[in-house]
Amino acid sequence: MGHRRNIIILTSDKPRHRYLVRSLKKQKDLNIVDVITESKNKKRSYLHQYEESKEMYNWINEFNELEKLQFGKDHFVAQSEIVPPGSLNSELVVNRIIRQNPDLVVVFGTGIIKETIIQYVPNIINLHLGLSPFYRGTATTVWPFIEKKPIFNGATILKLDKGIDSGPIYKLVLSDFYQGESIHQINMRLIKKAVDTQVDIILSLSNGKEISPINQELDLGKLYLNKEFKPHHILQAKNFLDSYEYKEFLDNIKINKLKLETILNANGLPYI
């Protein structure tokens, strides 16, 4: 076992992000030297788009309530620097990171991290809620249902690079599916599984285990932009879950998982 690695966490302020911080702080082999929290940008929130649509507004609220149930409502511990949206790459934050000289930086839920940070930290481990390289960008745990490809719903633990969710992959985290669940229920379980997997990878790397991430073939998928995700897409996703096509998908889940695993294995992508 190596020395205790100095780790900085860059994250946001929702219950799922707090769950990551709590999980890492519990690990005796890790030395969490700083937590920098980028508050969510209200301008990017979908709530303002849905104010005239009761169904859409309720959809977001359902996510928020389920998230509180899954991950709790507690606040961050005192050791956390809260910065405004979009300021993570500021000189103040960059200098703070450089000064502490971390062995690893753990990322979940922030805005885009630029070269100003990446150039100073060789190991940045990011959690992307989407199955890269197939689904990169925004709302990538909803698009698989919109496009009727639910088996591609998942998350990715990757080494952060200058692109968007495009860095070498440590592990793909696949969704599990059960009868009668909503998209939010599916994704809450996925988020927990993904955070737990990210923590395991951080522990392995911190203890000196060599894990070589696998480069992505970006042509296998697409980058989904924030501006492309509209309220009517939520209705499409919900309608798909109520469809006979989705029932058939669940009835044949073992076959569908095998098809996905065949694709992942053919491209040398590690998964859990």
236-244 — which CB contacts under 8 Å span 24+ positions?
A: 236/145, 236/146, 237/142, 237/145, 237/146, 237/183, 238/59, 238/183, 240/145, 240/146, 240/148, 240/150, 241/145, 241/182, 241/183
The predicted-structure confidence for 132-157, as pLDDT tens digits, reads as follows 999 999 999 999 999 999 999 999 99
pLDDT for res 82: 82
pLDDT for res 1: 47
pLDDT for res 85: 82
- The band of 45, judged by pLDDT with boundaries at 50, 70 and 90, is low
**SS3 of residue 235 by DSSP:** helix
The answer on pLDDT for 34 being more than 80 is yes
Q: Is residue 71 part of a domain?
A: yes
Prediction pTM value? 0.92
CB atoms within 10 A of CB 48: 9
Residue 151: CATH number of its domain? 3.40.50.170
Continuous H helices in 111-212: 115-118, 143-146, 183-206
Q: Is residue 116 part of a domain?
A: yes
Q: Is residue 185 part of a domain?
A: yes
Q: Name the residue with higher pLDDT: 268 or 83.
A: 268
**Is 229 within 8 Å of 50 (Cβ atoms)?**
no
pLDDT for res 25: 93
Token reading at 141: 């745990």
pLDDT for res 75: 56
Number of domains, the chain? 1
Q: Alpha carbon of 226 to those of 5, 46, 114, 140, 230: distances in Å?
A: 35, 10, 18, 10, 9
Q: Is residue 272 part of a domain?
A: no
pLDDT for res 4: 81
Q: Is residue 215 part of a domain?
A: yes
- The band of 231, judged by pLDDT with boundaries at 50, 70 and 90, is confident
CA dist., res. 102 & res. 204, Å (int): 16
Instruction: Kindly provide the b/e burial profile for residues 169-188, where b requires at least 16 CB atoms within 10 angstroms of the residue's own CB.
Output: bbbbbbbebeeeeebbebbb
Taking residues 240-250, report their average pLDDT: 98
**SS3 of residue 3 by DSSP:** coil
CA dist., res. 58 & res. 144, Å (int): 21
The answer on pLDDT for 15 being more than 50 is yes
DSSP result, 103-123: SEEEEES-S---HHHHTT-S-
Q: Name the residue with higher pLDDT: 77 or 230.
A: 230
Q: Is residue 239 part of a domain?
A: yes
The predicted-structure confidence for 50-109, as pLDDT tens digits, reads as follows 555 676 688 889 999 999 999 987 655 546 778 888 889 999 999 999 999 999 999 999
The answer on pLDDT for 178 being more than 50 is yes
Token reading at 242: 């109520």
Q: Is residue 271 part of a domain?
A: no
The predicted-structure confidence for 199-226, as pLDDT tens digits, reads as follows 999 999 998 899 999 999 999 999 999 8
Q: Name the residue with higher pLDDT: 189 or 207.
A: 189
What domain range is 151 assigned to? 5-266
Q: Is residue 232 part of a domain?
A: yes
